[in-house]
Each structure stands twice: as C-alpha cells, then as structure tokens.
Structure 1
Amino acid sequence: MASRKASSESGSVKKRQAISFEMKVAIIKKLDAGEKMVSVARAYNMNRSTIGTIYKQKDRIMEHVKGAVPMQSTIISKKRGKILEEMEKLLTIWLEDQQQRRIPLSLMLIQEKAKSIFEDVKAKAGESAAEETFSASHGWFSRFKKRANLHHVAVSGEAASADKEAAERFPQVLKEIIEEGGYSAKQVFNVDETGLFWKKMPEKTYISREEKTMPGYKAAKDRLTLMLGANADGSFKLKPLLVYRAANPRALKNVTKSSLPVIWMSNIKAWVTLAVFEDWFFHHFIPEVKLYCRENGIPFKILLVLDNAPGHPPHLDDFHPDVKVVYLPPNTTSLLQPMDQAVDSDPEMTLRSYWKSYNIFNCIKNIEASWREVSEVNLNAVWRPLCPQFVNDFRGFDQEGINKDILSTLVGLSEKLELDLEEEDFEELLESHGEELSNQDLMELEAQQRVEEEEEDETPVPMKKFETKLLAEGFSLIDKAIALFEQQDPNIERCTKVANQMNDAIQCYRIIYDEKKKKTVQSSLDRFFRPVSTTPSKEDTRQPSSSSPGPSTSSFIDVTEEEVTLEAHSSDDEDPLGPMI
C-alpha cells in the first residue's frame, strides 16, 4: 500500500487511456505474427493484462471491425464527412438486421433508408454538419458495398414478396427426397431463428415511458436470438440455442453455462452467424440427435430442412455423411418453414422493482418453460404446409380463439397491476417484435456496441457445490410442505400421490446427499488409523514377543462401535436431522 501511494504521489501511475478499435486490431495482428505479449505491452505502454484481455476478445473485436466502414477502405480519393461515415455504420447494421430477418432488399429501398438515416444523423449533429450533402447514387452504393464488405447482401431490382409458386412446388420435391432416402417423421428436422426483445413492455406502461426519458442504452431494445427446432413427428424438441450480445452477463456469473436449459452462445450483435451455426451443428445438433436415435432404436440417418438465412452454411452436406441438408427455395420461409409457424413472487415487490430485477437468467427460465409447454401435437401440426404426409389427424389451430384467450389473460393481469392496458396494447407489443429497426434504434445499437464488456463480469467466482446441512434443510422444508397439504386434504389418495411425486422428483438430490454422508463417515473413520514405523523401537528390541507376527505398516486402535458412531457424528458437516430415505 505504501509503495503504491508513493508512486501515485510521484506521478508515476499510468493514466487511463482510450483504446481505439484500430489499435486493438494492430495489437491482435502483432500477437498473431508471433510477437511476445510483454513486448507488445511495452510498445503500447500498456499492462500485460490489458493486452491479454484484448486478445481474449479477438473474435468479438474482429467481427465488429468487419462492419466498420472506414477500416475496409485502402484508397481514399476524397475526404468523406463524419455524417456520411456515421450513416454508413448505421446502414450496415440495418442491412444485416434485414438479412437476419430474411427480408428481401431492393436498391431503391436501401437508397431511401440511407437518405433517411443521413438526414437524422445530420439533424442530431446540428449546425456543424449543415454543409454536408448526400444523394445516395448508384455509384455511392457500389463503393459502399466494397467498403462495408457486404458481398453476402442480396439486392434485387425491386423488393420481392413471398414466392407462392415455389412454395407450392417444393413439398413434392421434398417428399421425393424423403421417400428416396427412406426417412421417417422422427428423422426429419427443422430449425429456425427468431429475435426476442426480452425486456420490452407495452408502450402505454409507465415503465416504457420512463425508459424513453433515460439517457443511454434502452433495456427494451435489448434483443437476443433464439433458434428452435424439432422433428416432424413432434416427439423430440432440440435444446434451444440462445445467442446474446454479452458472453458473461452479471446475472450468470454464478451459473455454469453448460447446465443452462439453453445452448448459450454470444457475439456483439446477438445473431446466429456462420461460426455460431457450425459450432451448434457439430457440437450440439449431431450429438443430441445421435443420442435420441440410439435411445429410441432409430437409425442415425437425419434430414435437416433449413431456409437460406445468411447464418446457415451453404454446404452442410459435406460435414457429416449421415446428415443430409435440404434448403428451402428463396422467399418461401413464411409459407413453408415449420418452425416459422410455431413460434410465487414477493407480494411486497412493485412492478417497477420487479422489471428492474428481471434479468437474462430469468428470461432463460421463461424460455425453457414456454418451450416445454409446446405440445407434441402442435409440433407435428406445423409441418402440414411442408410435409403433409407426416401430419397426424389434426383439424387445425383455432388461432383466433387462442389469441383471444391469451389477450384476455394479459388484460386481466394488467388490471391487477393497475396498468390500464387493453388488448390493442398487447397486440401492438407482439407486432413490434417483427418491425424493422428505426433510425433511433440504429443509433442506440451502434452506441451500445462501442461499449466494451457491457454488463460483463469476468471476476472468477467459486463454483456452486452441495452442502450436507443445506440439503438436509431442503428435505425438511419439503416434508413440512407435504405435511401441510396432507393436514388439509380430505382425499388421502390425492395427497399420497403428490407426496410420492415430490419424493420421486427430488430423488436425484437424495442420492447426492447419501453419497456425501458416506464420505463424511469414511473421513471420520480414517482418523482411527495411524502409520506405524517398520523399524522396531528400543522397547520392542529389549522385550521381543514370541507371538508377534512381525513388523507391520499400520495398526488399528481398538475402539467400540459406539465410539466410531460418536466420532462420525462429530463432523463439522453434521446433519442434525439424520439420514433421510
């Protein structure tokens, strides 16, 4: 402490410096070229740990830089204004978002959006940008595509709509592929992505109004991407893939991500990229489906139906000999894609405080519960447009009735919470998930993407572990709860059934408890063993015993059974309730 204070007073403490993305890229390139981290840190006058942190974020930084317009240009013939550069950054985000949503783009649509963004950015800049102009010409767009490296963005002469003719032809084509390959409904799978604004509230709520007045990034705009999938039989749901913008949000710092009910992945834009999809395909989809086939006696021969989303690799057929991939025709997703068709608290807590405490971990639990509630019948039924031969006797959804019931429930909840919301407010909220990003949304997203380590905490924390005392306490609480129900229930058969189900549900924890108790007893018994030297003592030398069996490496102190039991129960991890069966 004294030396640190002295160095601070002498002015030798390094000042905090801003690190641009250009500098980070240069650092990454030096490390990739083989330079030592120590020498790079010395060259940039930074701590070695800072250089290490930058290199850990290599993938994230390089992905962000791909979309950064200025870094793609190698020849500059004309000085470009700051407003134009900012507009192009925002336009890149908008284009990629449209591609993720599989919305067809036309040159005219892009030009109009570019001019709209330019005017909004210019207005925000004020008088300093009054002289900058922009015409969104064909030549500008051609140069912009090169600068922004947007070779994957498909642009047509005019906006395309859903291709009904292709959608009508394709089911027969797919049927022939299925028959030729001998695939059953259990072996045909489909996955699809959907965006979720996981903390968005209806516009009329006071929470939504308050957030609009707050500076900085808006929680309601925080979006994640979910990828859901199942087989045509409806009997097997894939574990959902969730892609979030932060790798280590604070809400998950005590949670082992592999134990989540979703597959957790991250990138700065929260999108399913080619790298994310390939990782999911190899390390999750194939092992998960292979296990399902083995457990159900089904040959591991799979047909995966995908749309042409930019994050779906085009040559997945080459990756695994037992997994065939078929792609839907362009502009038919909304008509054919199966997964596109499916798609006690504290009484003193106020809605405002609950909303503020609602985090990504809570969201994950809700996603798991919602996905679990989707029935096998419904999962099978959504294949009707694509594979009608696989769909069982199903008369269709009463969508209007379902929507009415859901909206009625939501309105009832809003009345209890004194929110004064109507059905139209919830309909507007649901529809907003499909709306394109506004210019203001783009500005907020771009600003948020500049913030490093947003809501992340890489501080190591101790792993969760079971404690015998707490396990016993949990069993005791469950027993008390069951006893309370039994006291009130005149139906003995019912309360007995509930008790049995509860005991079956927590049996996995009782097994853990029993194992820990065994280890506790064993460790206590070990106290009665002591090592004995193989070299005889002087006393043994002077008084040899004819009955002695010779030197031994250990001996056991003669104790009674009561003493062993007493010693075992004197452990610090004692269970006051005794073993529970």
Structure 2
Amino acid sequence: MNEKERLLILWLADQHQRHIPVSLMLIQEKAKRLFQAIKSKKGEGSESEEFVASRGWFMHFKACANLHNVKVQGEAASGDEKAASTFPNKLTELIKEEGCCAEQVFNVDETGLFWKRMPYRTYIAREEKTALGHKAGKERLTLLFGGNAAGDFKLKPLLVYQAENPRALKGIWKGQLPVVWRSNKKAWVTLQIFEEWFSSHFVPAVKDYCVSKGLPFKVLLVLDHAPGHPAHLSDFNHNVKVVYLPPNTTALLQPMDQDVIASFKAYYLWRTFAMAFNATEKNENLTLKDFWNSYNIYNAVQNIAFAWDEEKRTNLNGVWKKLCPQFVYDFHGFEESVEAVTEKVVALGKQLNLDVEPKNVTELLASHGEELSAEDLIQLEKQLIEEEEIETPEIYHQGFGRFFYDRGWVGKISG
C-alpha cells in the first residue's frame, strides 16, 4: 500500500471517529488531493506522475485496506428532521415504562480539542504556521462529557491523549487528576476505551450518585452512533438501559451538543488566556511566547477541569429541552452565552497585546472539529510510524486495515 492510500485510511478513520459520512465521490476527491500534496512534497522528478481515482482503483483500495465489508454511517449535514420530531415522544414513553426521573436519565458525548491552539491572527499562531517540524496548534485530544437531565450531576470528563505518560505528568498520580486519563495513538475514543470507561467509571459514579439521592440504581443512558459506542452496551450492566438516538439527529437532539460543548471550549480558551495573563503579570520578564512554549498537557488538564466546572446546573438541565422537555425547568437560555464568554476572551487578548477579534475566537472554536488536511495526515502518519516502530512494530507491519481494527476502529465505507 502506497503513502497516498495510507494517508487516505487515516483520513477515513478521522471522518468516522467524528461520525461524518463519506461517499465514493468524496473518497476519490480526497485521494486526488492527497496525491497532489505528496507530489508537491517530492518536488522535482515527480511532475510526470499521474493518478486517476477510478472506481477500479477504489475497489482495489477497499480490498487492500481490509475495509471491503464495512459501511460508514454518520450524521447528515441537515439532520433528519422527521426522526428528530418523533423520537422525543418515544423516549418519553420509554422513560415512563422504566420509571425513571430526571436524575436517572443521562447523556454523554465526545469532542475533539486542539488544546494548544491560538486564534489564527495572533503572532504566536503565525509563527507556529511557518515553523518547521511539529506544530503546537495541531496537538489534539478527545474529551467525553456527560451529565443527567436534572443538571445536578456532571460526570468526570474522560480525556484520551496520544501518550500514556507525557513528561508533564511525571510524578503525578493520574487517579488524582480531574479527568479520567486514557491514551490512544490517535487520541480517539475506541470501543475498548469506551467499554472500560463505562464499566469502571460511569457505572460506579452513577451508582454512588443514585445512593446519595435515595434513588434506586436504575438509569437510562442516551447515546449517539459514534464509532466508539458499543452496539450492545446494555448487556454490560442490567441497571443501565442504553437508548440510541436515531441516525442523523445528533446535532438536533443530543443534549451535550446543544451548546454545552461549545460553551466549554469558550471557557477553556478564556481560562487559558487568563492563565497566560496572570503568569506574565507576576513575572515581568516572562513573555507570552515564553508562557506558550511552557504550556503543557498538565496545564491543559487544569483548564479543562475549570471550564467544565463553569457549566451551570441550569444550563445542563436546559439543554434537554428538545429531547426531554418534561424535565426542563424555567430555562430561558444559558446564564452566560458563548458570545459573552467570547467577549471575555477578546478583552483578555487585548490585555495580552494580541490581535484578537470576536470572529477570530469564533473561527478558533469552530476549528476544533475541522477535517484533517493533507499536511496534518502526513504529520500524523509520521508520528504513528515512529511510535509503532518503537513500541509494537509487528502490529504496524501487518497492514493498516488490521492496524485500525485492532484499536477499535470498526467503521465502514460505502461505495
């Protein structure tokens, strides 16, 4: 399998991880763009190389990648309005049948976070863009957030990072962190990670919460069809009934997607700017660039915990308005909107002498869900090869199809 096809598999895995559907036409177009990027990287001598992403090539690619028997399912751009309008009533009936109250109905959802990224127009972001080697702005992790419909119980966030033991956590017991720390070479939530988190963290935490409320340990968990969510999770614990949202309704119905995650990311950026401001104020010899160079994953974990703590109970209850309106109290919007937090970020940016406007912050917040570029994929493959050759070379050289399968990528390609 050549470099273009290896990068294409990385791209497909990333699309699937973010439950974005792909078609034959999209795959062919991405393959052509990757070919051009690789061709440009080679420089002189590659001008005569040509590539036609034909259907015959695609069928061969599927077979070589060991993806011939699978099919991608993800969120449609517009969402399924009809399913979204009927599902809440069905869920209400199920909740009645199960005898659950707002405290016993939960939802969790994943999101990516570029934990060390500045707004594009700042001088630090410009410098990172032109610097050779690893770019700090591309350092991504995955977080899983969740809570109940009453809004009075937030789960400890699950954080999946590329490294199990980064230098910044040396000497720190991970059990004391304000997140559940797990690692994966691509920083994704795999089936194995989700299953372990469910059994070792979700179930014990929710059980203790129910006991503290004098409620029976009997809960309902609402999930979307993300690739890391097992299809038969209800079999893992008879006290937890799992209900899956209809396909293509996540953006329309899922509580954690109704501005909770967007609000968290705004708070995270604000907290990071505040940390930078405080550090440079205390030490007049410390420049913002110095601070940013020293900003590490442990600092990011602290700011993640702060940002998650900022999510208020009224907000976490109100976001169930579309899915379970019967559980929502007097909700008239977030106590502090994403726009309001954005203004706070801009104000701090000005104090740090950064060229930051509200639209720059909005662009940055949106970028956390952006598609990996050809440059990103080339860098990611390089990191994976280096890490796999050191740790598990026998798995890597078995082939990329098996490589992804072994790590919980059970995604499927339509064609």
> Do they superpose with TM above 0.5?
yes
How far the C-alpha of 1:449 sits from its partner, in A, is: 2.1
Contact 1:245 1:267 in 2 (8 A): yes
Partner of 1:180: 97
- Picking from 432, 438, 442, the partner of 2:373 is 438
Partner of 2:385: 450
Give SS of 2:283's match: coil
Partner of 1:492: none
Contact 1:225 1:271 in 2 (8 A): yes
How far the C-alpha of 1:435 sits from its partner, in A, is: 1.8
Contact 1:217 1:448 in 2 (8 A): no
**Structure 1 residues 161 and 110, CA, compared in 2 at 3 Å: closer, same or farther?**
farther
Q: Do structure 1's residue 423 and structure 2's residue 358 form an aligned pair?
A: yes
**Structure 1 residues 365 and 160, CA, compared in 2 at 3 Å: closer, same or farther?**
closer
Structure 2 alignment gaps of length 5 or more: 262-277, 392-415
1-structure distance, mates of 2:350, 2:20: 37
How far the C-alpha of 1:152 sits from its partner, in A, is: 4.5
Give SS of 1:225's match: strand
Name the Cα RMSD after superposition.
2.1
- Picking from 271, 278, 283, the partner of 1:347 is 283
How far the C-alpha of 1:319 sits from its partner, in A, is: 1.3
Partner deviation per Cα, 1:463-513 (whole Å, 9 max, x = no partner): xxxxxxxxxxxxxxxxxxxxxxxxxxxxxxxxxxxxxxxxxxxxxxxxxxx
2-structure distance, mates of 1:451, 1:216: 14
Contact 1:106 1:159 in 2 (8 A): no
Partner of 2:21: 104
**What does 1:67-82 align with in structure 2 at a 5 Å threshold?**
70=1
**Structure 1 residues 398 and 137, CA, compared in 2 at 3 Å: closer, same or farther?**
farther
How far the C-alpha of 1:451 sits from its partner, in A, is: 2.8
How far the C-alpha of 1:231 sits from its partner, in A, is: 0.6
Q: Tell me how many residue pairs correspond in the alignment.
A: 369
Partner of 1:359: 296
Give, as a single letter, the amino acid of the residue that structure 1 aligns with 2:180: I
How far the C-alpha of 1:301 sits from its partner, in A, is: 0.5
Partner deviation per Cα, 1:364-417 (whole Å, 9 max, x = no partner): 011111111111111000111111111112123488xx3443232222222222
Give, as a single letter, the amino acid of the residue that structure 1 aligns with 2:296: N
Partner of 1:40: none
Partner deviation per Cα, 1:278-306 (whole Å, 9 max, x = no partner): 11011111111111111221100111100
The percentage of counterpart residues that share the same residue type is 59
How far the C-alpha of 1:211 sits from its partner, in A, is: 1.4
1-structure distance, mates of 2:239, 2:341: 42
Contact 2:217 2:239 in 1 (8 A): yes
Q: Do structure 1's residue 248 and structure 2's residue 165 form an aligned pair?
A: yes
Normalised by the length of structure 2, the TM-score is: 0.85
2-structure distance, mates of 1:216, 1:152: 35
Give SS of 1:228's match: strand
**What does 1:187-226 align with in structure 2 at a 5 Å threshold?**
187-226=104-143
Partner of 2:348: 413
Partner deviation per Cα, 1:46-88 (whole Å, 9 max, x = no partner): xxxxxxxxxxxxxxxxxxxxxxxx4xxxxxxxxxxxxxx1111
2-structure distance, mates of 1:153, 1:353: 47
Q: Do structure 1's residue 164 and structure 2's residue 81 form an aligned pair?
A: yes
**What does 1:301-340 align with in structure 2 at a 5 Å threshold?**
301-340=218-257
Q: Do structure 1's residue 368 and structure 2's residue 285 form an aligned pair?
A: no
2-structure distance, mates of 1:166, 1:385: 13
Give, as a single letter, the amino acid of the residue that structure 1 aligns with 2:236: F
Q: Higher Cα Rg: structure 1 or 2? A: 1
**Structure 1 residues 160 and 418, CA, compared in 2 at 3 Å: closer, same or farther?**
closer
Structure 1 alignment gaps of length 5 or more: 1-69, 71-84, 457-581
Partner of 1:530: none
Give, as a single letter, the amino acid of the residue that structure 1 aligns with 2:355: D
**Structure 1 residues 380 and 160, CA, compared in 2 at 3 Å: closer, same or farther?**
closer
Partner of 2:72: 154
**What does 1:290-309 align with in structure 2 at a 5 Å threshold?**
290-309=207-226
2-structure distance, mates of 1:162, 1:140: 31
**Structure 1 residues 314 and 97, CA, compared in 2 at 3 Å: closer, same or farther?**
same
2-structure distance, mates of 1:339, 1:414: 28
Normalised by the length of structure 1, the TM-score is: 0.61
Deviates more, 1:118-127 or 1:225-234: 118-127
How far the C-alpha of 1:91 sits from its partner, in A, is: 1.1
2-structure distance, mates of 1:155, 1:380: 29
How far the C-alpha of 1:155 sits from its partner, in A, is: 6.6
1-structure distance, mates of 2:157, 2:62: 34
**What does 1:540-559 align with in structure 2 at a 5 Å threshold?**
none
Deviates more, 1:145-154 or 1:244-253: 145-154
Partner of 1:41: none
1-structure distance, mates of 2:64, 2:76: 24
Give SS of 1:230's match: strand
Partner of 1:467: none
Highest RCO, 1 vs 2 (Cα 8 Å, sep ≥ 6):
2
Contact 2:20 2:73 in 1 (8 A): no
Give, as a single letter, the amino acid of the residue that structure 1 aligns with 2:298: F
Partner of 1:232: 149
**Structure 1 residues 355 and 237, CA, compared in 2 at 3 Å: closer, same or farther?**
same
Partner of 1:129: 46
Contact 1:106 1:155 in 2 (8 A): no
Contact 1:246 1:453 in 2 (8 A): no
Partner of 1:570: none
2-structure distance, mates of 1:407, 1:317: 39
- Picking from 318, 327, 331, the partner of 1:394 is 331
Give SS of 1:139's match: helix
Partner of 1:461: none
How far the C-alpha of 1:119 sits from its partner, in A, is: 1.2
